[in-house]
A and B are shown apart, each in its own frame.
Chain A
Amino acid sequence: MRHGKYPFIIGFLVVPVALYAVFVVWAYIQAFYLSVYEWSGLGPVENFVGLGNFRKMWDDTTFWQSIKHNVFLLVFLPIITVVLALIFAFLLNVGGGHKGGVIRGVWGSKVYRIIFFFPQLLALAIVAVIFGRVFGPDKSGMINGLLPESWSPWLFLADERYAMGCILVVLVWQAVGFYVVLFSAGMGNIPTEVYEAAAIDGASRVTLFFKITIPLLWNTVQVAWVYLGIAAFDAFALVNIMTVDRGGPDGATSVLSLMIYRNAFEFSQAGYASALGVVLFFLTLTFAWVTLSATRRESVEA
């Protein structure tokens, strides 16, 4: 062992670990502690109720509605985003075929790459406000404004059938750019010889995509899946800012994170909110574990 290795490592770790311990671990411990109390959020924590908050949750229809919406996002957000991002990344990097022995993307791919990343630069709150206008329910809304004058306007967020879909569209729109960049980076690591060899053997672009890009990119896709799944458990900012009656109409867009916020800061039910937080904690853990186990497969090392 080299002299001074540990002090060196500890020197690097002490600040982040301390921050993590105080602002994440300690906060978690408190959330677990509070979840077994009935506490308004003000004054001393006294009224121990055991699993009472969880029993209440079981009977809470809004809770089940929120879970349903989170699951909806959990299923569709990763699938749509990953598929779109893979297609775009493939087009940007390999889609142009090879000319003069060099694999390249479609024409103008350098510009597209930058444009795709733009949504990532906007704060989520701004995105929510902008899309609130895009989905405006009358002629002043962007999409409705483009529809012919004689059509009756689409209600979008004001229609419980489409409201959650609108949220999904915005989440996908915002996320795609980042994953295009992530996948592009992954594709950049795939040796061009592999593509060239396949191309010489007469592989079409579709074959290249499924037989070479996807297997060699599998680990990156897996990372993306977990990230996006976790994003699907959040969606707080969009729902809070964009939707009718926050989480409406009539609970049609309520999600767990919004429920936690409203219970803690508006309904004076911080104990119940903590219990919801604990549930969200286990849901996220379970999701990550399931995803990692389910997608485990021998990765092909290039």
Chain B
Amino acid sequence: MTDIFTKPELDRRTLLRRAAAVGLLATPAVGMLSACVGSSDEDTPEQATGTKSADNPLGIDPKAGVEIVIFNGGLGTDYATKVDTPLFNKKWPEAKITYSQAEEISTVVQPRINAGSPPDMINNSGSKLMDFGAIVKAGQAAELTDLFAAPSLDIAGKTVADTLVPGAIEQGSYDGKPFAVNYSYTVFGLWYNAALFKKNNWTPPTTWAEFTALCDKMKAAGVVPFGYAGANASYYMVRAILTSAGKIGSEQVLKDIDNLKEGAWTNDAIKQAAQAWAGIGQKYINKTFLGLRHTEVQLQQNQDKVGFYPCGSWLENEQAKDTPKGFEYAIAAYPSVTAADKLPATAINAAAGEIYFAAAKGKNPQGGKEYLRTMLSKEAALEFTKLTKSLTVVAGASDGQTISPGLTSANDAVTKAGKDIFMGYLFDTWYKKLDDESRAAANDLMFKDYDAAKFCDRMEKASQAVAKDSSVTKFTRS
């Protein structure tokens, strides 16, 4: 070992210079990303098409293959391989489906998009999802107007658009045009263990006073009343704060945030919501949660150490392995903050999620859309719900089915909310940088300074910085 480092022939200053050069290797990662800079519209390959007919409303080439990439995460991939693909092939036996899965979608798909040979249908999900706004702006996603106007695969007399829950298409629209199918339907709220509540004779609160009173009781019983994971899931908390704000001042408050309107974050509704939640952070949260990851806090809830956990309806499936027998997931709508809230206590935030889109510059974009049409059939939607314990945007696809306690509870919450379901906000997917800021701000609010005014001012400043930044592509909603 001795002489490896001290070869007499090797001039030491040369070695140092080389050492410096090695360090420079750390930088060029971005250059690599752009290895395909310059691929533009001219590179679009020849695309497969067929004749449109009543049976083939999207005009696909029945013999052309379709390549799909599915994100392998909380929902698994079985729904694609065991349900959607066989269903597609039942109708189009000659079209070969090329399937692959990925855990890091951007790593796998982004280089292919840049190289001009994207897969035809892409499931853009997970923590490494691609910035979909940028994809739309770059003209890489196929417009889906014809898909939503096409007749549903198995619900007679209705177009695909008619079969979906309200807001489903809006969620995937950019400047009024649809580019994505947000397939799963997620209900957000406070999750708790119904069995634990029954044992202690606790009932889910509807007003803030009831909420804090219950939190006191939980604390007395040795249960941390409320918790979320600050290390990687602070956006659950952002959603809780903004859902409360939405209930106080109606969804318009959230639309203003999405539209980067001046003063959107300093609105009274946001202030009141932040103030109310800061009170919860100050008294009822466990300080160590700031350093924990979502699964760690969720596990503590499974052990009945945490009362309420703010999350979406994927939670039950995500925790399926760790949920002990007798633990019954149930969801409560966020309690009203004031008596003058514009929306009732039963109002909930439910949104379509999980982006699926057809690549505009692939070999077979119509085939990709047809695959999406297959997914949006009632049969595929029901099977998806059975496999993943997630509702879909296909309205009523799983009505009358008993699948799991959490899912039933979520379905009930949707029914109780009736017309008071709001989609929430989109700024987190539109402007990732603002999303990032909101996570840090929520952690500060809940764990550190409990200062609602600071939270609002900080977010207002960040939002206006994005509004003035010409390098960020802007979107609007109404």
Residue on B nearest A264 in the bound complex, by CB: B30
List the A side residues contacting B447 at CB < 8 Å.
Answer: 158, 249
Chain B: minimal CB distance from A113 (Å): 9
Assess whether B6 is interfacial by the CB under 8 Å rule: yes
Given the interface pairs A245-B231, A268-B134, A285-B24, the reply to whether A44 lies near B30 with Cβ below 8 Å is no
Assess whether A181 is interfacial by the CB under 8 Å rule: yes
Residue on B nearest A45 in the bound complex, by CB: B37
Given the interface pairs A185-B2, A230-B22, A244-B230, the reply to whether A266 lies near B440 with Cβ below 8 Å is no
CA distance A268 to B19 in the complex (A): 32
A-B contact pairs, 29 of them (CB 8 A): A24-B28, A28-B27, A30-B28, A30-B34, A30-B37, A34-B31, A43-B138, A45-B34, A182-B5, A186-B6, A189-B2, A220-B5, A226-B20, A229-B23, A230-B23, A230-B26, A244-B291, A248-B443, A262-B436, A264-B30, A267-B131, A269-B471, A274-B31, A277-B27, A277-B29, A288-B16, A288-B23, A292-B13, A292-B16
If over half of B's interface residues share one DSSP class (helix, strand or loop), that class is named, otherwise mixed; here it is: helix
CA distance A237 to B93 in the complex (A): 47
Given the interface pairs A42-B140, A260-B30, the reply to whether A233 lies near B291 with Cβ below 8 Å is no
- The proximity string for A residues 121-144 relative to B, scoring 1 for CB distances below 8 Å and 0 otherwise, is 000000000000001111010000
Show the binding face of A for B, using Cβ within 8 Å. 23-24, 26-31, 34, 38-45, 47, 49, 56, 135-138, 140, 153, 155-158, 181-182, 184-186, 188-189, 219-220, 222-223, 226-227, 229-231, 233-234, 236, 243-246, 248-251, 257, 260-262, 264-274, 277, 280-281, 284-285, 288, 292, 299
Task: Check B6 against A248 for contact (C-beta < 8 Å).
Answer: no
Among A23, A249, A271, A284, point to the contact of B230 (Cβ < 8 A): A249
Chain B: minimal CB distance from A125 (Å): 14
Max chain A Cβ within 10 angstroms of own Cβ: one of B2, B37, B131, B291: B291
Task: Check B28 against A42 for contact (C-beta < 8 Å).
Answer: no
Show the binding face of B for A, using Cβ within 8 Å. 1-6, 12-13, 15-17, 19-20, 22-35, 37-40, 106, 110, 113-114, 128, 130-131, 133-135, 137-140, 230-232, 234, 286-288, 290-292, 296, 432-433, 436, 439-440, 443-444, 447-448, 469-473
List the A side residues contacting B292 at CB < 8 Å.
Answer: 137-138
Chain B: minimal CB distance from A138 (Å): 4
Chain B: minimal CB distance from A111 (Å): 16
CA distance A98 to B34 in the complex (A): 60
Residue on B nearest A278 in the bound complex, by CB: B27
List the B side residues contacting A186 at CB < 8 Å.
Answer: 5-6
Given contacts A230-B19, A250-B443, A277-B29, 11 further A-B contacts (CB under 8 A): A31-B30, A42-B113, A45-B37, A137-B288, A158-B230, A185-B4, A243-B231, A251-B440, A267-B433, A281-B27, A284-B20
Chain B: minimal CB distance from A157 (Å): 5
Task: Check A181 against B30 for contact (C-beta < 8 Å).
Answer: no
Among B12, B37, B436, point to the contact of A223 (Cβ < 8 A): B12
CA distance A41 to B32 in the complex (A): 11
CA distance A230 to B288 in the complex (A): 34
Among A31, A181, A243, point to the contact of B31 (Cβ < 8 A): A31
CA distance A222 to B142 in the complex (A): 57
Max chain B Cβ within 10 angstroms of own Cβ: one of A23, A34, A41, A223: A41
CA distance A185 to B6 in the complex (A): 8
Residue on A nearest B15 in the bound complex, by CB: A223
Chain B: minimal CB distance from A19 (Å): 12
CA distance A30 to B27 in the complex (A): 11
Among B24, B138, B231, B448, point to the contact of A40 (Cβ < 8 A): B138
Among A24, A158, A181, A227, point to the contact of B290 (Cβ < 8 A): A158
